[in-house]
Amino acid sequence: MTVMAALLPGRSLSEAKAQLSDVMSEVVHQHRPVVIERHRGKERMILWRLDDMQSLLSHFRFDPQVSFEDGECVIHLRELNLIAGGEVFEQALDELIELVEQYSVDYIARFAFYSQTDRAAHAPYVARFALTEPTARRDLFVEPPSFVEPPSFVQA
């Protein structure tokens, strides 16, 4: 038994296939990720409930830097090293979303390559974008900054 298997429930691929409905219920209804192994643990993958994964990835927030110069709006997305522009903010944002979508498709298709480069750190941002409903993707770039309420001090 591997350390991972001791911390997370695991199943062999053949067992998971035979009990797929039960495995899915465990993942979806009990919010428990499941590790699936084959070839005596040499190959592993994990099944994770989609909204639980989205919650884990929510901390990878996009922080677009917007500038206006010479009648053009430019948005720099440092998290993925992308730059988009347009005459107005909405045009620049539309272009940025299109660029992120194109980059994400390529990144996922060539993940083995990108994971060996200086772009490996892009993975959680690409995953967050890819796992967000297309109609909600725009909100990823205009979401309000996260704010943590400072602790209140009680005077005695």
Structural domains of the chain, with CATH: 3-52 (3.40.1620.10), 65-142 (3.30.160.620)
92 vs 76: CA distance, rounded Å:
10
Q: ∠ CA(81), CA(87), CA(90), 5° rounding? A: 70
Q: Residue 110 in 3-state DSSP?
A: coil
Q: Residue 95 in 3-state DSSP?
A: helix
Using one digit for the tens of pLDDT, what is the confidence trace for 67-108? 998 889 999 999 999 999 999 999 999 999 999 999 999 999
What percentage of residues in the chain have a pLDDT greater than 90? Answer: 77
Are the C-beta atoms of residues 154 and 105 closer than 8 Å to each other?
no
Using one digit for the tens of pLDDT, what is the confidence trace for 100-120? 999 999 999 999 999 999 999
Whether the pLDDT of residue 64 is over 90: the answer is yes
61 vs 47: CA distance, rounded Å:
23
51 closest CA partner among 27, 17, 19: 27
76-113 b/e (C-beta count within 10 Å ≥ 16 → b): bbebbebebebeeeeebbebbbebbeebbeebeeeeee
